[in-house]
Structure 1
């Protein structure tokens, strides 16, 4: 068979790539110039191809291993690899997925330069954080009013409880004087969204528990980590280190990944976690649904556009004052 090199692949922009993979109980390897994963059946071993040129993130769960040759090809294709616990979430919920980012320094510099122009100034960083928060709510409003499947399940931003919560959110975001004010406002809105989703899907006595074993919390955890994978991939492509967060604290490792993932979590992950929980879906069915919705609503494109806009916009004193009017 003719050998195939990653340099021969047609380049697909990360924002347009369609695939994320979660694998368990298998071995990832390079064979005949391609990346495959091997599963052990009773009678024979089975090989499956991973289309690395069209893949953003590879999550390796319980019982997996990967060869050095496969990692080399994944790196050349710009695929982020993460080791995680079963079901796409860490075994210990307090820990983070360790992202193995491809070591290419031939990435754009303009976005990092733009980011650094505002990041060391408290007022400018706060203005950027407000941009993140407003973009997040705008995306939620767009998706919940556009997605026919969600609308058929009863998810709408025109609910009186949500309209009041959104009005409060926008006012408090505008009035915020520091990041902690924004985080408190965010937490209050998310609590309202959880209550609305639980009531809509008739899930009683729901409480958000990161270490809980109930199905709704499990799906929220799982979906959030898929969003973290997209966020980490976006930041790697644009050349912005994960430590330059605007919301989640300057000393928290990987915090910018959380900032960016928040853009899509409420709009896509949250409602579908409750819908799939109410339908008693399997973990695989939920994962397929979330990945399909990421693709349908161009979640990666939205992340890229938002980060680029925030990195390159004007953060002069006059501009910040105009945004706060």
Structure 2
């Protein structure tokens, strides 16, 4: 097996685009190792090979062990890794970004640093979630109030559609079984979405903690993006799972969510949504540095970028 130190780092051109990857792969009660550029999952039934470059997020369930070599290839190919408990999902590690460009993270910082543009992005997020509702002119307090009412309406509508009794959102952190089947499904779907959207945010080179609606947490932007699909995907799917029965709600929710995401191309949608929110003009025109460019410039006082790799000690400039 080739060691990490003898291999050159993969370039974005060699990596599979985020939108073309599997949303997530869930493994449990096995040993995860590496064979060339694939990871292997070995259990009592044998060994399964999984191309690492096709994985968006690897969810490691109870009873899993993973080797250093497996983690190294997952990091190289930009896959996110989350250790998963029996009663929910927590995100503990991530791979490299799939881009060499800092365009999106700089746009994110610029939009976030100004209160007006930060509110404008929050309104744009609301518009993505509820395209039939115009949030222009709404304050943050009004946005939160309107969002809360829309989510409650979604719960009631899905309960009526599936004939699943709904007694309100019930969730105790750390105690997955404290709620009924539909609440468990909602929790499982939401936590899986956090892992998936975290993988996309990291792959695009954005900052997970610089949110426009959520704040004060290392995953604030991840929570912002995951919420874009709550009423569209997460809640309806959770009610569908609960309508099928009370047994194995967590695993059934994960499988249903995985299948839905792969069938609908949610990863590609998530990538495009983030680009439209942070760089709306560039997203429409498809302009700016591409993911494959390895472009380094120097900042100047005039706001223009200067070429890197040069010594400016004896040059007079108009910066």
TM-score of the pair, normalised by structure 2:
0.76
Q: 1:26 matched to which residue of 2? A: 30
**Equivalent of residue 187 in structure 2, options 181, 206, 221:** 221
Q: 2:295 matched to which residue of 1? A: none
Cα deviation 1:198-223 (Å, max 9, x = unaligned): 12211124321123342211111111
**Equivalent of residue 152 in structure 2, options 172, 191, 194:** 191
Distance 1:274 1:52 in 2: 32
Q: 1:265 matched to which residue of 2? A: 230
Q: 2:138 matched to which residue of 1? A: 176
Alpha carbons of structure 1 residues 52 and 200: separation in structure 2 relative to 1, 3 Å: same
Cα deviation 1:103-145 (Å, max 9, x = unaligned): 459632111121222211111100001101111224xxxxxxx
Distance 1:24 1:203 in 2: 30
- Are the equivalent residues in 1 in contact too, given 2:156–2:166 (CA < 8 A)? no
Shift of residue 184, structure 1, vs aligned partner: 2.6
2:100 corresponds to 1:107: yes
Q: May I ask how many residue pairs the two structures share in their alignment?
A: 270
Cα deviation 1:199-257 (Å, max 9, x = unaligned): 221112432112334221111111112211221111112211111100012x2221100
Cα deviation 1:147-204 (Å, max 9, x = unaligned): xxxxxxxxxxxxxxxxxxx6xxx35x334222x4322321221111011111221112
Distance 2:181 2:144 in 1: 26
* Range that drifts further, 304-313 or 210-219: 210-219
- Are the equivalent residues in 2 in contact too, given 1:216–1:274 (CA < 8 A)? yes
- RMSD between aligned residues: 2.7
2:146 corresponds to 1:122: no
Alpha carbons of structure 1 residues 98 and 295: separation in structure 2 relative to 1, 3 Å: closer
Q: 1:93 matched to which residue of 2? A: none
Distance 2:110 2:25 in 1: 36
Shift of residue 284, structure 1, vs aligned partner: 3.5
Distance 1:2 1:80 in 2: 22
Distance 2:26 2:167 in 1: 27
* 1:199-214 equivalence runs, <5 A: 199-211=160-172, 212-214=178-180
Distance 2:218 2:237 in 1: 28
| Unmatched runs of 5 consecutive residues or more in structure 1 | 91-96, 139-165, 315-325
Q: 1:154 matched to which residue of 2? A: none
Partner SS state of residue 81, structure 1: strand
Partner SS state of residue 198, structure 1: helix
2:292 corresponds to 1:299: no
- Are the equivalent residues in 1 in contact too, given 2:17–2:98 (CA < 8 A)? no
Distance 2:262 2:99 in 1: 27
Alpha carbons of structure 1 residues 247 and 200: separation in structure 2 relative to 1, 3 Å: same
Alpha carbons of structure 1 residues 63 and 183: separation in structure 2 relative to 1, 3 Å: farther
Q: 2:59 matched to which residue of 1? A: 59
TM-score of the pair, normalised by structure 1:
0.75
| Unmatched runs of 5 consecutive residues or more in structure 2 | 173-177, 282-319
Shift of residue 33, structure 1, vs aligned partner: 4.9
